[in-house]
Copies of this chain bind each other. A is one copy, B any other.
Amino acid sequence: MRFSSLLNLLSGLDAASPRDLSSDPELVGAQSIEQAVAGQLAFLDGNSNLATALGDTRAAAVLLPLDPQLQQQATDRGIAWAALLDPRLGFAEALEILHPRQLPPPGIHPSAVVDATAEIGPGVSIGPHAVVGAGCRIGEGSILHAAAVLYHDVVLAKGCEVHAHAVLHPGSQFGRGCVVHSGAVIGSEGFGFVPTASGWRKMPQTGRVVLEDGVEVGCGSTIDRPSVGETRIGAGTKIDNLVHVGHGVVTGQGCALAAQVGIAGGARLGNGVILAGQVGVANRAKIGDRAIASSKSGIHGEVAAGEVVSGYPAIPNRLWLRCSAAFNKLPEMARTLRKLQASNDE
């Protein structure tokens, strides 16, 4: 596809957007600005070491920010370019066009086991060895990849995708366009036990998990159902791999949970909360809208809206940075303290 044809398909460009199509190359794929080779598209944004990367790239075409100097540099190097407000977003759209995913065709593979009471919408694809339990409802255009397992009474709205070896437990509900990656387990029994004289006695987990529209759950992640009520993941929330979400957790919309985050039972997250890798959130903790926790922090109690926290127990990030810097000087501080004390005792 010609670069000029691609540009016509990008939402962030209009007729007025600056561009240089002198070379208008035939694109043969896309790559990072550093690794692009002849014929490839790349992009530059604020995260790139801009001028250098552009000076070195072998890309045939680039999506640039609205920066005349970079545009001139690209022209000088004979690289075709177009400039837009969000080149990263443009690149995302371009990737989808240049490297379309190969999706399985609609239909039910003969090796799949689909209960007679399940309702399968139009255009649904059910892969080899997939299992669909009694009372399930699979919305239009949804895809169940190989060996996906749905227990009974699972409901998927339109356009969901369930990858190979994901498991959806009884009664779990999914909004439109949810994606469950391989090995993720949704709606499994919460870890609830009552201590008794003869040991741990299971608290039955009779609740359910609800994923609102556009939620994505990474590989191997687990979202447990509660003893009563719901575990609920807000619309548009994205969850990375190997994340644990305990029973009865509720998150707001548009949260992002990085890999290996663990959220204990009953915690509440507001909208737009971001938890970096390996963060832990304790039972019944509350995290306000748009709060951010940096990697490995451990949160108890409450975090106010918009706050950035770090460390364990988590404290405001700015304070933590200073405390951590001081931590590294503790041996020195201890030495100074001993000297002062000695001199004081004299």
Interface residues of A (CB under 8 A from B): 30-32, 35, 86, 88-89, 91-92, 95-96, 98-99, 101-102, 109, 111, 113, 127-129, 131, 133, 145-147, 149, 151-152, 163-165, 167, 169-170, 181-183, 185, 188-189, 191, 193-194, 196, 199-204, 206, 214, 216, 218-220, 222, 224, 227-229, 235-236, 238, 240-242, 244, 246, 253-254, 256, 258-260, 262, 264, 277-278, 280, 282, 295-296, 298, 312-313, 315, 319, 322-324, 326-331, 333-334, 336-337, 340-341, 343-344
The 3 closest A-B pairs by CB, nearest first: A326-B330, A99-B206, A113-B128
User: Shortest Cβ distance from A282 into chain B, in angstroms?
Assistant: 6
A279 to B193, CA, bound (A): 19
A89–B167 Cα gap in the complex (Å)? 30
**A167 vs B181: C-alpha distance when bound (angstroms):** 11
Question: Across the interface, do B167 and A182 meet the contact criterion of CB distance under 8 Å?
Answer: yes
Measured CA separation A98–B145 after assembly (Å):
35
Distance from A107 Cβ to chain B, minimum over Cβ atoms (Å): 14
Show 27 A/B contacts (Cβ-Cβ < 8 Å), sorted by A: A35-B228, A88-B203, A92-B194, A92-B203, A95-B227, A99-B204, A113-B146, A145-B149, A147-B165, A149-B165, A165-B165, A181-B188, A181-B189, A182-B188, A183-B183, A191-B240, A200-B254, A222-B241, A224-B241, A242-B262, A246-B259, A258-B264, A313-B324, A319-B328, A326-B333, A329-B334, A344-B344
Contact of A334 among B89, B165, B228, B333 (CB under 8 A): B333
Which one of B259, B298, B340 lies within 8 Å of A191 (CB-CB)? B259
Question: Does A228 lie within 8 Å of B30, measured CB to CB?
Answer: yes
Contact between B191 and A258 (Cβ–Cβ < 8 Å)?
yes
| Contact status B333-A194, CB under 8 Å | no
CB pair B222 A242 closer than 8 Å: yes
Interface of A is mostly: loop
Q: Determine whether the beta carbon of B220 is less than 8 Å from that of A31.
A: no
Q: How far is the CA of A193 from the CA of B238 in the complex (A)?
A: 9
**A296 adjacent to B280 (CB under 8 Å):** yes
A183 touches B200 (CB 8 A): no
Bound Cα distance from A32 to B146, whole angstroms: 38
- In-complex Cβ contact of A236 among B199, B203, B222, B341 (8 A): B199
A101 touches B253 (CB 8 A): no
| CB-defined contacts of A133 to chain B, threshold 8 Å | 146
Q: From A34, which residue of chain B is reached at the shortest CB distance?
A: B229
Q: Which residue of B lies closest to A280 (CB)?
A: B278
> With a CB–CB cut-off of 8 A, which chain B residues contact A334?
326, 329, 333
CB-CB under 8 A from A86, the residues of chain B are 194, 196
Complex Cα–Cα for A226 and B331 (A)? 41
With A88-B194, A131-B164 already in contact, 7 other A-B pairs whose C-beta atoms are closer than 8 Å: A91-B203, A149-B164, A182-B185, A188-B241, A199-B254, A242-B262, A282-B295
Q: Which one, B204, B235, B262, contacts A95 given CB within 8 A?
A: B204
- Separation of A324 and B240 alpha carbons in the complex (Å): 30
The minimal Cβ–Cβ distance linking A14 to chain B, given in whole angstroms, is: 17
